[in-house]
């Protein structure tokens, strides 16, 4: 148990204190007491490749024109440009023709 803890502690020290600026400095030999050194490759800091974010477009904004309500002349009515008051022509009874 002591050997495993010592090996883990030394591995962590080796991992944090061996500079990884050059690949020539990353070939390290561990010896576990068997008599044969074990070559271990300590890789530089791993680089995680993240897929690009999916760009979603906002839904299209549909702008509909304002409804036009026809009104007799002289009344206020709306059109796409705002409220409009027609020319004052009047609507007189004698202009309406009745059938006899």
For the cut 50, the answer to whether the pLDDT of residue 53 exceeds it is yes
What are the pLDDT digits (tens) for 78-90? 666 666 555 555 5
What are the pLDDT digits (tens) for 12-21? 766 666 655 5
- From residue 92, how far is each of 27, 30, 56 by CA, in Å? 106, 111, 60
Q: For the chain, give every domain's residue range.
A: 2-41
Residue 98 CA to chain centroid, in angstroms? Answer: 69
């Amino acid at each position: 148990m002591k050997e495993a803890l010592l090996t883990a502690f030394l591995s962590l020290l080796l991992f944090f204190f061996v500079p990884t600026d050059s690949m020539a400095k990353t070939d390290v030999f561990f010896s576990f007491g068997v008599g044969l050194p074990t070559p271990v490759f300590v890789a530089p800091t791993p680089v995680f490749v993240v897929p690009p974010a999916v760009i979603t477009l906002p839904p299209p904004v549909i702008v509909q024109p304002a409804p036009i309500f026809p009104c007799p002349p002289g009344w206020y009515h709306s059109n796409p440009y705002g409220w409009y008051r027609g020319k004052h022509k009047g609507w007189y009874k004698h202009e309406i023709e009745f059938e006899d």
